[in-house]
Amino acid sequence: MHFLRFFFFVPQMLLFAPEVWYNRTMATKKFFSKLKVHFGKVSAIMIAVFVVLLAVDLILKHCEEAYDWNFTVIPRLIWVESGYRNTGAAFSFLADTEWGRAFLIILTLVMIAVLCACFLFLPERFILLKLALAMIVSGAVGNLVDRIAFGYVRDFVWVNMFFNQACCNFADFWIVFGVIIAVIDSLFLNEWAILPLTARAKAAQAAAKERSESQGNEDGASSDADGKKSDGEKSDDSDEKEDK
Active site residues: 155, 172
Tell me if residue 93 falls in helix, strand or coil: coil
Q: How many residues does the chain have?
A: 244
CB burial string 191-206: b at 16+ within 10 A, e below: bebeebeeeebeebee
Report CA dihedral (70, 74, 77, 83) to the nearest 10 degrees.
Answer: -10
φ/ψ of 78, rounded to 5, equals -135, 130
- Give the gyration radius of the chain's Cα atoms: 29
Give, as one character, the DSSP assignment of residue 91.
Answer: G
Alpha-helical (H) ranges within 35-163 are 41-67, 100-121, 127-150
d(CA 19, CA 22): 5
Contact (CB, 8 A) for 73 and 160: no
